[in-house]
Amino acid sequence: MVKLKEEEKIQLKSEQEAKEAPKEIKSKSEKNKEAKDKAAKTVMSKTATLHDLDVVLYPLVTEKAVNMIESENKITFVVNDTSGKAEVKKAVEEAYGVKVVKINIIRDMKGRKKAIVKLDKKNKASELATKLGVL
């Protein structure tokens, strides 16, 4: 009977070790990576509908547009010809999860309709631009 008790103790220890094995201690760098991943997911947490993607066609990459991203917290998009300010504001806020303060709409010499979108101070245009591949 003594041997059975010792074998049972060994089994219990191995079962306890198996339960504790998945619980690993994470280093600070791993925690930072997880926090960044969560932050990236929250920025783009809302999914863009097809209507949003029809309104906002693509971000504009010119020297002037890049200067506005860096200095004035504004990002420029080429939008659909029939889109208005309210539609563009709604589409940008829903598609990219940012707060829009102001929108200016311009027609350029090529016939494109551009929307210059000023973002809230909490949202940086440079962060959105890097996610979109502008910077």
Dist CA 80 CA 107 (whole Å): 11
| CATH number of 96's domain | 3.30.70.330
Asked if residue 124 is part of any domain, the answer here is yes
Q: Which domain holds residue 56?
A: 47-132
Identity of residue 81: D
Asked if residue 39 is part of any domain, the answer here is no
Residue 125 CB: number of other CB atoms within 10 A? 22
Number of domains into which the chain is organized: 1
Asked if residue 38 is part of any domain, the answer here is no
Mean residue pLDDT of the chain comes to 82
40 vs 12, higher pLDDT = 12
Condensed to tens digits (0 to 9), the pLDDT of residues 24-59 reads 555 655 655 565 555 444 444 456 788 888 899 999
Position 23 pLDDT exceeds 60: no
Which residues lie closer than 8 Å to 45 by C-beta, 6 or more apart?
A: 97
Asked if residue 78 is part of any domain, the answer here is yes
Joined tokens for residue 5 = 């008790």
Condensed to tens digits (0 to 9), the pLDDT of residues 57-98 reads 999 999 999 999 999 999 999 999 999 999 999 999 999 999
Condensed to tens digits (0 to 9), the pLDDT of residues 95-118 reads 999 999 999 999 999 999 999 999
Asked if residue 75 is part of any domain, the answer here is yes
The end-to-end CA distance of the chain, in Å, is: 73
Task: Give yes or no for a contact between 58 and 77, defined as CB atoms under 8 angstroms apart.
Answer: yes
φ and ψ at residue 124, rounded to 5 degrees? -95, 135
